[in-house]
Structure 1
Amino acid sequence: MTIALLDIAKEYHMGDSVVHALSGISLRVASGEFTSIMGPSGSGKSTLMNILGCLDRPSRGSYLLDGQEVARLNDDQLALTRNKKIGFVFQNFNLLPRMSALQNVALPIVYAGVGKQQRLERSEEALSMVGLADRKDHRPNELSGGQRQRVAIARALVNNPAIIMADEPTGNLDSRSGTEIMDIFTLLNQQGRTILLVTHEPEIAAYSRRVIHFKDGCMVKDERR
């Protein structure tokens, strides 16, 4: 198993009240799975993704990532785990506007201390994988929405992570660009990467072989295809 959650809960304290964002989630995701997480706004799916991606900690419960308990790692340990094992793709791309596509892709390996020449080679290779080698010197405002998301995918790939996590990756794209992006995720999964994707669109979830449904902080359905 790549991911194993046991009785994960996440609570937020708002004044005198407690918001239960996640309630007792137990879930296993095997290496190489393509899994979509669906649910309405406020269902807990993005909260779960933040915990899975080591961006947040659960209030209680166990999270094993490749056999390592990560629920109680400190901030530095979480950052190291994220950098080594997980690539992220977000709805809003999260690209730095003053940097070129190549420079944006290289950011994760700058933080990892990789030398300049190797950064250049790996970033160009990642852009080639998503069909944007000829746009490496373009800034985000010179690219279409679909191209910007492909840059974001290249950035997620540059450290060669085993897991790609995507939060509404087609939410800001037209249907044609969304199809192109999902074709890339499908190819990455066929190459052996584990894909975890949050979406509210059934046609996007249809690309995956497993769909987990959330409602009110609970996992209510687990479909395998």
Structure 2
Amino acid sequence: MAIKTDEQAEEVIRLQGIGKSYYIGDQEVPVLTHIDLSITKGEFVSIMGPSGAGKSTLMNILGCLDRPTKGSYKLDGKEVANLTDKELAYTRNKKIGFVFQSFNLLPRLSALDNVILPMIYGNVFKKERKERAVKMLESVGLGDRIDHMPAEMSGGQRQRVAIARALVNDPAIIMADEPTGNLDSHSTREVMEIFADLYKMGKTVILVTHETDVANYANRHVVLSDGHISKDFKGRLL
């Protein structure tokens, strides 16, 4: 079987001239300025930079959670600006799995029900929801915690529930915003090994982090500075 070169790899994300500004009264406050970025299928990309560099804003745009002020964003060749709010919601549910620093689990739902939730919005049949959710929780090592509430689990376990929830609709792209920010070193390694395995399975993984050890799980690094890309390279961080 032929191996694709970088030139032949399938492009899933292309940003051209992306800018994002907010307004305080009549004053424009730019957060991102002229971002050009291409990500191909199966890459593991870290997005790094100091606080205020625009990392989370860029992730929100990539994840179709926010719209840019200017520029072009094509996801799988389709211009995101042309999508309706309903189409954006469908895209988020089907194509992208999100993992956040704060887990974003619903505290009154069990691990199982938290993982089932995206399938309700995805119109998955009720019987299939539970089967898929159980398998996904087992795949992240939580088969014995399916009925536990978030408050009954450690931070690492809650993050693994969040990863299971992100994966349950089998998205092609996983986006993680500081997923280890609230975890100890042992839990960090466990969670990052899951992301590494997803990359090996062919998923596209995009990770926002300020931790070098975490970023080094990725094979490409995009560094933001004052709202623009200052570095974009492959290899390990020193």
Residue among 179, 182, 192 paired with 1:172: 182
5+ residue gaps, structure 2, are: 1-10
Deviation at 1:143, TM superposition (A): 0.4
- 1:1-225 matches, within 5 Å, as 1-225=11-235
Shift of 1:97: 0.6
Quick one: distance in 2 between partners of 1:19 and 1:223?
28
Shift of 1:133: 1.0
Contact persistence 1:61–1:71 (CA under 8 A): no
What per-residue deviation string (whole Å, max 9, x for no partner) do you get for residues 148-192 of structure 1? Answer: 000000000000000000000000000110011000000011001
Give secondary structure in 1 for the equivalent of 2:191: helix
Contact 1:166 1:197 in 2 (8 A): yes
After TM superposition, what 4+ stretches of structure 1 lie above 6 angstroms from structure 2? none
Q: Aligned pairs, how many?
A: 225
TM-score (norm 2): 0.93
List alignment gaps of at least 5 residues for structure 1: none
CA RMSD of aligned residues (A): 0.7
CA–CA distance in 2 between the matches of 1:221 and 1:137? 45
Contact 1:11 1:22 in 2 (8 A): yes
The Cα of 1:224 is off from its aligned counterpart by 0.6
> How far apart, in 1, do the equivalents of 2:132 and 2:205 lie?
21
CA drift of 1:112 comes to: 1.1
Identical amino acids, percent of aligned pairs: 62
Cα distance in 2, alignment partners of residues 133 and 124 from structure 1: 7
The match for 2:4 is none
Q: Deviations over 1:54-76 (max 9, x none)?
A: 00000111111111111332211
- Deviations along 1:171-215, one digit per CA (max 9) or x if unpaired, are 000011001100000001100100000001111101100010001
Provide the C-alpha distance between the structure 2 equivalents of 1:168 and 1:140, rounded to a whole number of angstroms: 19
- Residues of 2 paired with 1:139 and 1:220: CA distance? 42
